[in-house]
Each structure stands twice: as C-alpha cells, then as structure tokens.
Structure 1
Amino acid sequence: MVYMSKQFEITVADLYDFKSCPLRFKFTEIDKVCKKITANDGIRESIQSVLNYYYFHLKGGTQLGFDELKEKLSSIWYGNLDIYDIHVGGKAEQRKKELEAIDMLYTFYRQQRYEPDQVLASNLDFRIPFGNDFYVRGNIPVVRDTARGVEIAVYKTGKSKYDDFWQKTDMGLTLMAMAYHSMFKQEIDSIAVHILRKGTTHFVTRKRMDYKRLYKTVDLVKESMEKGWFYPRETFACDKCPAKNLCMEWR
C-alpha cells in the first residue's frame, strides 16, 4: 500500500518523530486520529513561539521585558491562543511543566537583557526539495550579526546531553544551514545552540560535506513511507505518548 501522494511534505520534527516511532507518525500525521502533542514537545513549541515574538519586536526596535514574555507563554500554555493541543496529565503536571518553561525562558532573558542580539532576520520558513516529489520544511529561528560572523541561533529545551555526537548529527541544524545557503547563496559562518535547561551554548558549523548524511537519511525515510513501513517502537517514552491507547490496539 502506498501512503504518499505524488508530492509529500514533512517537517524537521516529523523526521525525528518518524525515526522515533513510525507508527506514532502514521497516527498523527497520516491518519490524523491523534492530534495532541506531548508535554515536552509542547514546552519546546511554546517557548519557540515566545522567542519568535521576542525577536519580531527586537528587530522592530523594542526589547520586551520578562513579564511580557512570561505572559505570552502562559497564554499559549493554557490554550488561550488555541495554538497547540498539548497532552498533559492533569493540572498539577501542567503547572509543573509551565514552571520548567518559565525557568528556561528566564535563562534566555538573562542572556539577552543587557546584550540583545543584533537581529538580521527572524522566523524564516524554508522548504527544501529532496528529489522531485519530497520536501522538508522548517524554520530558522533567528539570524544575527556576531563577532563570529553571520550566525543562526537555535534554542533547545530537551533534557538529553547535547554532546559532540548530537552537535555533529543534528538534522535540524543541517537543514537550517542548507536553507540559509539556498536563500543567501553562501554558507552560514556559525550556528549557536543554546541549551536553555543548563544555560550553556555550543558553537557548531555546517558545510557542504555535512549535507550528505542528511540526504541519505531522508532517502531512507522516504522509502519507508512509500512502502508503508509504519511499525511501533516500544520504549519508556510510550508512557507519555498521546497515541498510547491507539498503539495498544494496533495489529
């Protein structure tokens, strides 16, 4: 059975979701029978929305204060803006995750408070073709002018250790570098990865030679989708998966 139309488009997050669990990807992105995102994904998306809001105003000449950023976060997190359908285990868990997000947002604010970024562009959407019928779309959060040259800034909210392995294999960074290259006809000078839970920063580079791994990965993902290889990958992460009940009934 072929699950893909003549032209198929996925996001950077979809690439990771498919690699993590092809069956969950099928439920959420193809069958669309499960729309909620996990609490951790909700934190990531909510914070990124707030940062887009901050950089939009900063580029216009206004630096927002922490209270304004926190208010924006709460509006998103509690659904007042109706942006994300976040799967949380009750009000206590929702509040706990909100406090985690506020702590990370304050880390960002401290970094920006006295030395705000020199923003060249922000919230840049991109769409990269892989062949004639498969596209990966994503977003460059911010491009800024620094002493290291023109730099993409990325903000991570996860708990995993962002060691040398992830710095070299992060597909999201590679796609951003490719998109920047396509838009501006030159390689990006630097990519800064800010780990908001720890307040640390890693400086990463991406060159043409780094694109090869991504091309091979996307080709394999595309082949798996075309052949309908949507199988479950049971891990401890299943405990908080919004597709857990559907997965139990899959045969």
Structure 2
Amino acid sequence: MDVTEQQLFDYLQCPVYYDITVNKKLPSEQPVQLSDLLMKVTRFFYLQLSLGEVPTLATLKRKWDMVFQPYQEILGEKKAIEGLQLLMKLYDWAKETKLVVIDIDSPYAITSGKNKLEGVMGVIAAGKNGRDELLVTSFSPRMSHEDLDALKLKYTIDSYAYRLKYGKDLSGIRIHHVKHGKDSLTFRKNSDYERLFGTINGVCKSLENNIYYVRDHYGCAICPVNNLCKYWFNNY
C-alpha cells in the first residue's frame, strides 16, 4: 500500500480526521498560523541559498509582505511586524553562520515490506564538522524539549530519506530556534528507523482494514472538522 507523508500524519493525528478529510473528502479549513506563513518565506530563502544565490533582506521583506497580505485582516499589523522581526533574526543568523543549504524538498520513497511512504525531505545543510545535518527551523516561542525531539517522527523520516539518497547517515539534526537564537541537537539510530517501519506498516494495515476511531484529546475542541465528527456531535 502506498501512503503519502501527509496521509500518515493525518491518520496519526486522528483516524476519524483522516476518514473525514481523505476518504469522504469533506472540506477542512485549517486556521492560519503565523509560523506557517513564516515557513513559506523561510523555504523560499533556503531554496535560493541552495541555488547559490543570497537574496537581500529587502527581497525577503517583499516576499513576507506578499505572503502575509491575504491574512492581514485576520492576524493584524502586530503579527506582520513580529513576523518580519523573526525573519530578520533568521537572516542575520544565516549570514553570521555562513549557512550552506545542500538540499531542500527532494522527493523520497521509503519502502517497508509491501508498503511505501512518499513525501519530500526537509532542509539539508552543511554542518560545522563538515558533515551534512538536517536543519529544522522553529519559530515557536518555546524551546523544544529534547525528549520530544528524540521521538519526532518527521525527523526520523527525513534522516532515513537522506540515507537512501546519499548512502550515508547525517551527522545529526539541528533545530534552530529563531526567537531564542539558540540551537538544539538530536540524533537518529537504527532503532528509530525500526520504529518508523513499524509505524508505516501499522498505519497501512489499519487503512486496509478501514479502522477509523477517534483519538480523543485536547485538540478535539479546536479540530477543524469537529462539527462533522460523529464522536463530537454524533451527527453522522
């Protein structure tokens, strides 16, 4: 069975959410987040760096204005300024560290038994030790916790995708916390990849057997499809 990375994460988030949005194709409107808009500009910035071009800060500002403008009324001017300030911090950090982006958004296909996971790899940058590392950019106001970083499935997927493409392992995973100007590091080993294969096979088996149950947690109250969820409103 073939699944996309987004489908995998949607099912893990909540099987009923997957059933509503993927199988039944009912509309789901995700609330806009400042971090999502910032990542659009960040990926543009990193893509230019991967092509050997260094955009000016003025170019990033114009890109930010273009990305933010449709959401101006929703998020407000204060968020526009906050976003620009964070992008300026990111730009200064990249300049100071002489950031070299080697790869971004390369497609991958990870096979586990009869199942296959497809998606795109994240950002690969040159590490300080001369070896490549996965670069994760966080605009969160909080530093991530090392225990959660060690379990983050997306980091595991990208690390294994790198191994498949380049025939070697990353030196590590660097999470750059823009707001704090600090980095945290985490790593992956073979046992993490075994867990990944188990997750892929488990989700695929559940999909093949049409297993859709509610993952009841605090996020249900703000889920964009809770008005369609039979467990939330019993209106199927």
Equivalent residue in structure 2 for 1:199, among 181, 190, 202: 181
Q: Confirm or deny that 1:52 pairs with 2:73.
A: no
Corresponding residue of 1:68: 59
Q: Confirm or deny that 1:24 pairs with 2:17.
A: yes
CA deviations 1:127-156 (Å, max 9, x no partner) are 212222432423222332432522121113
Secondary structure in structure 1 of the residue aligned to 2:150? helix
Secondary structure in structure 1 of the residue aligned to 2:63? helix
Q: TM-score, normalised by structure 2?
A: 0.82
CA deviations 1:41-68 (Å, max 9, x no partner) are xx44433332221122223333223332
CA distance in 2, matches of 1:175, 1:161: 22
CA distance in 2, matches of 1:160, 1:137: 28
Secondary structure in structure 1 of the residue aligned to 2:25? coil
1:8 positional shift? 2.6
Secondary structure in structure 2 of the residue aligned to 1:220? helix
CA deviations 1:144-172 (Å, max 9, x no partner) are 24325221211134466521221211111
Alignment of 1:2-17 (within 5 A): 7-11=1-5, 13-17=6-10
* Residue ranges of structure 2 left out of the alignment (5+ in a row): none
Alignment of 1:99-248 (within 5 A): 99=81, 101-147=83-129, 149-158=131-140, 162-247=144-229, 248=233
* More displaced stretch, 96-105 vs 137-146: 96-105
Contact 1:120 1:144 in 2 (8 A): yes
CA distance in 1, matches of 2:234, 2:32: 23
CA distance in 1, matches of 2:121, 2:90: 19
CA distance in 2, matches of 1:239, 1:100: 27
Contact 2:146 2:186 in 1 (8 A): no
Partner amino acid for 1:219?
Answer: N
Contact 1:144 1:150 in 2 (8 A): yes
CA-based RMSD: 2.8
CA deviations 1:86-115 (Å, max 9, x no partner) are xx8x93446565555444433322311333
Contact 1:144 1:153 in 2 (8 A): no
1:198 positional shift? 3.4
Corresponding residue of 1:83: none
Secondary structure in structure 1 of the residue aligned to 2:173? strand
Partner amino acid for 2:8?
Answer: L
Contact 2:115 2:201 in 1 (8 A): no
Contact 1:118 1:146 in 2 (8 A): no
Work out which structure has the larger RCO, using CA pairs closer than 8 Å and 6 or more positions apart in sequence: 1
Partner amino acid for 1:191?
Answer: I
1:173 positional shift? 0.9
Secondary structure in structure 2 of the residue aligned to 1:126? strand
Contact 1:154 1:191 in 2 (8 A): yes
CA distance in 1, matches of 2:162, 2:52: 24
